[in-house]
Amino acid sequence: MSHETIAIIDFGSQYIQLIARRVREHKVYSEIVQPNISVAELAGHNLKGVILSGGPASVYAENAPRCDEKIFELGVPILGICYGMQIGSQILGADVKPAHSREYGRTGLHITETSDLLASLPEHTTVWMSHGDQVNDLSQDFISLARTDTCPYAAVRHRNRRFYGVQFHPEVTHTPHGLDILKNFLYDICGCAGDWQMSDFVEETVRNVREQVGDATVICGLSGGVDSAVTAALLHKAVGDQLVCIFVDNGLLRKNERQTVVSTFRNHFRINLRVVDWGEQFLARLAGVTDPQQKRKIIGAEFIEAFQSEADKIPNARFLAQGTLYPDVIESGHKDGNLAANIKLHHNVGGLPEQLGFDLVEPLRDLFKDEVRLVGEYLGLPADMVWRHPFPGPGLAVRIVGEITKERLAVLCEADHILIEEIRAANLYRRISQALAVLLPVGTVGVMGDERSYESVIAIRAVETTDFMTADFCYIPHEVLGRIASRIINEVRGVNRVVYDISSKPPATIEWE
């Protein structure tokens, strides 16, 4: 990677992806690496600085994660956050012990030294603490930059080495001036130019894909979602007619989904798109199945069969494109102890590479979701596609609680269409992270005209989230909810009741199944 890079050494922080995203928000490329990375490997990254992340361990505990101490001889600035501050301070001669008073949550910070790292910050501010240990005794080689009521060394710097440490978390929104601290580190201390931009990424990726693929054909499984759409558009820019996209119509799609994909990719981008009509087979296999996991397994297996039926007809196809994103790479590394190993294939197209013998092309594997959307905009994809809410691979099947039939699918498809139409009309779509309708296996009594009815219930769910790890339900105005419910009950045959799900994640998940 030719971009100037900030390497983030991951000591097990729950905020690790957030640190990486915050650095990139400042237009500086960041890369998460494991503590066992060698200094030689680090130095080969066009390295401008290193961030040592937080983590749950105690630095003095047996088997506590440690990094190569020679990174302090690289000559680049190092910022330690929480555990990262403790490990860096300990290596450079300070003493770390359990704190007399643990700090969790919002804490007042008093800044005593306002140069470089904490420049332009107010003397008193709020930070987010989460620690049971702290630096207990600084050697003469350190200067204290800030303190709290119970933590005398809440921010420090080394006199001779380019090491800075903060005991709090500048990456979280609960630290109001956290982004200023990171900006000071990146620009004033590391001297970054801020040259990480999507146009450069696209051009570099196009070159790499052309080199990898040569004159072979690349197959891309299109779902209509953001990741696969951007992958397809990026690959088409790179290899043109060597790209063949396969769209499997599983009969479990949103209303007009197939037409939208065909219109965008075949008609607008002139991409070679093959549509596999497999809806009847999916429905036949799902008949009588109510268990959510069983549904997913059946749909996954049937998808592979449908995909393979078309892939077999494509000559010279050596590569399969996947929309693997950086969080998939990171999570995979956490599981395997090796950051780059065994990317989770099920995120996009199941076990297709192994089953069909393709080599993988993963043009988005260095990007976070928000960056993928920026690439989509740069490549000219329609805004509705770029900013589309997440939609599960198994489609509406996992939003029908209970048995899936053609009739129940038709009910949910119409209800879902009305929901999305109304939140768009109310200008709420971009504020909501994900909105969905769920068909419940419950009949309730109602009155339709002058007669009693006994019909289905639709549950509406809409959440706000930044990372999909946690989520809050959305406060949708009552008049909008009223319009949604009224339209669904009046326009969708078989529904006489609409309810709104106001649970958060956790304890509830975003999807119902």
Please, what is the end-to-end C-alpha distance for the chain in angstroms? 40
Active site residue 174: no
Respond yes or no on whether the N-terminal peptide bond of residue 506 is cis (omega within 30° of 0).
Answer: yes
- At 5, the amino acid letter reads T
Check 4, 45, 67, 82 and give the catalytic one.
82
- CB 62: neighbour CB atoms within 10 A? 6
The 3-state secondary structure of 333-395, one letter per residue: HHHHCCCCCCCCHHHCCCCHHHHHCCEEECCCCCCCHHHHHHHHHHCCCCHHHHCCCCCCCCH
| Angle (nearest 5°) at CA 404 between 401 and 410 | 100
Please give the Cα distance from 319 to 311 (Å, whole number). Answer: 11
Please give the Cα distance from 89 to 164 (Å, whole number). Answer: 9
Residue 329 structure tokens: 């790479």
Q: Which of 158, 131, 157 is nearest to 59 (CA)?
A: 131
- CB 434: neighbour CB atoms within 10 A? 18
Please give the Cα distance from 212 to 365 (Å, whole number). Answer: 15
- At 415, the amino acid letter reads A
Check 3, 45, 158, 169 and give the catalytic one.
169
Please give the Cα distance from 235 to 243 (Å, whole number). Answer: 7
Residue 274's SS3 state is strand
Check 4, 31, 103, 171 and give the catalytic one.
171
Please tell me the number of Cα atoms within 13 Å of 158 on its side-chain side: 21
Active site residue 82: yes
Active site residue 169: yes
- List, in order, residues 6 or more apart from 431 with CB less than 8 Å away: 464, 474
Distances (CA, A) of 64 to 135, 297, 335, 381: 16, 39, 18, 47
As separate numbers, helices (DSSP H) first and strands (DSSP E) second, the chain gives: 15, 18
Distances (CA, A) of 462 to 49, 73, 239, 352: 40, 50, 39, 32
Residue 21 structure tokens: 């995203």
Residues catalogued as catalytic:
82, 169, 171
